[in-house]
Structure formats: C-alpha cells, structure tokens
A and B are shown apart, each in its own frame.
Chain A
Amino acid sequence: MNSITADIDTANDKKVANNILLEKKLPGDLAMWFFILAELSVFAIFFIGFAVAEHLHADMFAQSKAQVHPIAGLINTLALITSSFAVALSLQAMHQNNAKLAVRRIIYALLIACIYLVVKVWEYQTLFNQGFDIETNTFFTLYFLITFFHLMHVLLGMVILIYIAKNAAQGNYEHSDKPSVDALESDNQNTIAGFESGACYWHMVDMLWIVLFPLVYVI
C-alpha cells in the first residue's frame, strides 16, 4: 500500500515538475523589464520628436540627410543584428548549461559590436571634418543627440555583456541537471535570470536602432 502511495506521489511530483517547466515565464528579472520599458519610452519621444521636426522642416532635413552615409548606417544595422543573434545563441548555450560556449558567443557578439563603434566614430569624425556639428541646424542637433544617446546605450550594453560573460565563466549561472520540484517552485528557480536580463537589454539596444536607422538613413 505504501509503495502504491509513493508511486502516486512520484507521478504527481513529475507532473507538477513538467507543468512548471512548460509554464510560460518572462526571461530575466522583472526589474530589468521595467527598465527596458522606461528606456523604450524615452526613445519613443525622441523618435516622434525627430519625425515632427522633419515634418516642420522638410527641406532642411532633406538637405542635411544628404550629408549622412547610408552605407555606414547599413553596416551598423547589420553589425547590431548579427551581434544580437550571437547573444541569442549564447543564451541557447546557457539553457543547455554550456557556459564555455556561451562565453565564446558573447565574445563574438562584443567583437561584432566593435564594428558599430568604429563606424560610428568614423561617421562623427567625417561629419565634424565637413564642418557639421550639433549646432549646425535642427537635423544635426537631433542626429547627434539621438545617435550619441544610443551609442551610450551600446556601450552600457557591452559592459553588461562583459559582466554576464565574466559571471558565466566563473560558473555563477550553473544549475543542476535534475531540478527538484521544490527548487523549481522556489523564487530562485531561474538561475540564469541575470544572464537573460543582460541578453534582453542588448536586444533592446538592437531594437532601438531598428527604428532609428530608417528615420536617419532611409526616409
């Protein structure tokens, strides 16, 4: 009788464990998502402000946009997309408890992100050499303000990626292959939440550029 009861308990435990594993959960920490939402809101105001300014000064924006380099914008977009892909693959490696591979992929993501930094600095340098700066006109004020603000976010994202790569290399995100039901139900069930938060921040930086790129270089 006791053996039958024990079997039922084990079956129930497995069922609960499976349900918990299949349950949809938000990747990363909730606090990071509120931070991401706040960042997105600030950039939304910038984007809409840029569009309104262009609507009001269409000719000046058209002339000024002829001075920026669409190929530089294209290279930067491809760099950020590819870097984001590398971070997504890195998270896949973390899901498989392969921290070594995850760290390697984060390093690839950082190296690709460096392409963005180099191109952006070259772009600023070229514009400065041509005599354009933040005071030239409304377009360049908004251009330098928004792209530099985004650049700061790229740098912060890179610092976060270095931090999570360091933690992963030190084994701080490792978890047991056979989690117990109690462990799964506890608040600390997600041992890679910090890694997921860092990865999602990087994807947010990429997503912001996805909106910014056509505003400045395409339209």
Chain B
Amino acid sequence: MPLRIGILGITGKVGGLCAAACAGPDLALVGGAGRPGTAKPAPAGVARFPDAASLAAACDVVIDFTHADLAVPHAEAVAAARCAWVLGTSGIGAEGRAAIAAAAQVVPIVQAANFSPGMNLLLALAEHLARLLPDEAYDAEIVDLFHRRKVDAPSGTAIALGEAVARGRGVALDAVEEIGRAGHVGARGPAAIGFSSLRGGNGAGENTLLFTGRAEQTVLTHRVTNPMVYARGALQAARWVRGRAPGLYGMADVVAGEAP
C-alpha cells in the first residue's frame, strides 16, 4: 500500500519541490495545505485541503516546511489524526517545541534543520572525527560559500558542522568559535573552531570542514547542486518514519537507519 503523503506549505518553495519529488509506486501524494487565506497557488494537479487537520486526517505522513508560528496548530493536528510528521520548519520557539514534544508522545516525528541525506551523514562523521583527532594537534576551520542573495553568515549548516565538532570535543561552540576574522585578531586560539563565509554567484550552497595538523590535513566538503536534495531527503524521512514508534527523531536516525 503506497505511503499517503500530505504537504503543509504546499505554496512554498520546498513544499513545491516535495510535491514534484513525490514520484514512485510506493508514494501517493494526497494533497497539500497552505496558510489559511494565502493567495499563492498550489502546484497544478495537487489537491488543496482547507487546513492541516483535514490534510493530516487523510495521510500517513505530512511533510511540513512552513512557519514557526504554525508549529502549535500543526502539532495538534498530527496528534489528533495519528499522522506521522516530517518537520523542516526552522526558528520554532519554546511554545512550539513543547507542542512538538507533546505530539511526539503520540506520533513519530522527524525534525531537522537540513534534510540533505549526505549532509546529515557528514555531520555524524564530523563529530566522530572531532572526537578522535586531538584538538591541540588538529585545527578545525569551516568555510561556507553561498549565492550572493544570502543574508546571514555563517550558514546554518556551517554552524551545524561547528556544533558537531564542538560536541565531538566536548566543548561549547560559543566558547571556542572565531567567526569572520578581521583586523589584528591575534594568533589562532589553540582549540578554536574558525568560520569564514564567502558570498557570490548563484550556488545553492557549499560547506567545508578542515582539520589541519602540522603535517597532514583532512577536508570534508558538501555541495548542494540542486535544492531538490532537501525534498528528496524529506521524502526519505517520510518513508523511514512510517510505522515507527512515537517519538522525536532526527535525520541522523534516518541516515543511520539506512547504513549497513
């Protein structure tokens, strides 16, 4: 029986990509819902539901790339419908997080800031390397390169890489981070995690982590060549979450679950 998928935020960019990526005999796109009252159209051929509750009632899984202020009603909708939830909305506050935790008692939820399967595997491996390579011998630096329209720096993924390294080293990132060096900043801190952000062109995003020792260097680079990767990852999460026990999962669980 195909997995019945609904898309919250069907008029958004990633929502539209998810609808487009919903292909294959094992997937059935039931429809989507947008923000109540929005004038933006849904992609052609996708059934429009009036709200999250009615969509969740018709689906096995809903994929949600919407807005932080919808976390509470969406949590209530998926819990009431016993529908699994793949949640990619960022910036959710305390009230929303509490609602998500409550929903996770009832339904399985995969929540992630970045659904790229490759990036999530790389985050786990970055933490693993950071745990084993002594911080006094291996300098960790992170470089992110994004299109000229991006407004924040470092990128969210660069920060996630920094957090993975800090976790591996058992330190707090904000205690060791050196972000955007300029001027006479002095020598590098002995266990610092440095960040450089480059902006230009039209690339969908490249993040690099370097561990540099006195005589050797290890470099991990992740490059998005098509934002469809986020939709592909969300669908991978949707397939994975079907039939799981209630709980709050991350993409690390999804990619780890597929490794041999």
Asked if chains A and B come from one complex, the reply is no
**Interface residue ranges, A against B (CB under 8 Å):** none
